[in-house]
Structure 1
Amino acid sequence: MNLDDSSLPPDEPWFLNPGTPSAAGRQQRQAGRMNKAAEKAPTTTAPAKYKAPTTSARQTAAARKNLKKAATAAKQKRTLAKLPKKTRTALGKEGARAARKKRG
């Protein structure tokens, strides 16, 4: 590989030159990764006519109250610490999903 700067434009360093073999290989690898990601993406969606039922204010308040009670009981008994790692991981992911949904 010739690293002579005379063939490159003055404002572009040699490692950003898209004509170099390493840049071409990098672009091919990135394209391959994108294709694999597209293959893994789910293609099915819920029917358009389905609408999730909305909860009443009473149900939401009751759910919050139950969550607070469960949280205090878990802190006292340390229930979560005694659960298997797989279950704790699943609970953490579920909590993260709820937080993400709450943020919008």
Structure 2
Amino acid sequence: MRVCNEGFDKEFMNEKRDMYAIAFTQNVLSGRWKYFILWYLKGETRRYSDIKKFLGDLSQGSLTKQLKELESDGVIQRDVYPEVPPRVEYLLTEKGMKLLPILEKMEDFGKEYGDNT
């Protein structure tokens, strides 16, 4: 599989549709904290500060980068309220909610096999 700077190689996309679909999903979820961000937003709108607190040691720059990528991919929505200081909230989009079954399957797998290493 070849991924170029502009995205996926067109030949790969056309010839290996099934593999491309997996690679596309993996690309959306790539990032150490994205799974946890999506899980934390499951069913609830959260403020930036709440997400930061939930993730603990994550730097502000890393969190901002992960949130921007998720927003760019259309998986989360960012709402800014004109207050002082500005209030920023994040929520899952419809597209983001479609990723929840993947996270649930990952959770199930981890519960079943996580202690058997």
TM-score by length of 1: 0.27
Q: Which has the higher helix share?
A: 1
Q: Which has the higher strand share?
A: 2
Greater relative CO, 1 or 2 (CA 8 Å, sep 6+): 2
